């Protein structure tokens, strides 16, 4: 499914484009970003970004942009995301995730699952602000780290979202 365009007060979330590959490769690669992700290879290269854009599978992914500047990526069905270091700490990810969650629950009552590596306090704060609750801790292989890590899994139900 192609990602529909979602507009927030500060952001435009749009479908990924082939032309996004250089920005993805440049902005996900810094250790401060990629160390908190489980799937991307490290080092991350332009070819990896091209592969990601071409092979989204059954997921839906958006480029997070503001004034045509590329900030990061967010995707579903499991809510996953990353934001370039220069744009962290400004509430962009909470705003982007809120738009994606609103879009999801407008179409489905299926709960949304997500998670964060233990120690990733920023990601935990985003999910908590949005109403996600802890479900369990899982062990997952983190490609950039080359080892298994603990991941706090979380979920958000339609009822909890509607009550917030």
pLDDT, tens only, 88-116: 999 999 999 999 999 999 999 999 999 99
pLDDT, tens only, 51-62: 999 998 779 999
Residues 11/66, Cβ–Cβ less than 8 Å: yes
pLDDT of residue 114: 98
Pairwise CA distance, residues 45 & 67, whole Å = 25
pLDDT of residue 57: 73
Average pLDDT over residues 50-78: 93
pTM, whole model, 2 decimals?
Answer: 0.96
């Amino acid at each position: 499914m192609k990602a529909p365009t979602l507009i927030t007060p500060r952001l435009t979330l749009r479908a990924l484009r082939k032309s996004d590959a250089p920005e993805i490769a440049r902005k996900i690669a810094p250790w401060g970003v990629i160390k908190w992700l489980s799937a991307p290879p490290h080092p991350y290269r332009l070819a990896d970004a091209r592969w990601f854009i071409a092979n989204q599978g059954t997921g839906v992914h958006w480029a997070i942009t503001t004034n045509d500047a590329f900030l990061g990526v967010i995707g579903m069905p499991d809510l996953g995301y990353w934001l370039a270091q220069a744009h962290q700490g400004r509430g962009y990810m909470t705003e982007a995730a809120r738009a994606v969650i609103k879009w999801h629950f407008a179409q489905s009552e299926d709960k949304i699952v997500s998670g964060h590596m233990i120690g990733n306090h920023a990601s935990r704060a985003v999910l908590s602000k949005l109403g996600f609750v802890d479900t369990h801790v899982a062990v997952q292989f983190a490609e950039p780290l080359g080892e298994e890590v603990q991941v706090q899994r979380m979920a958000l139900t339609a009822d909890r979202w509607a009550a917030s």
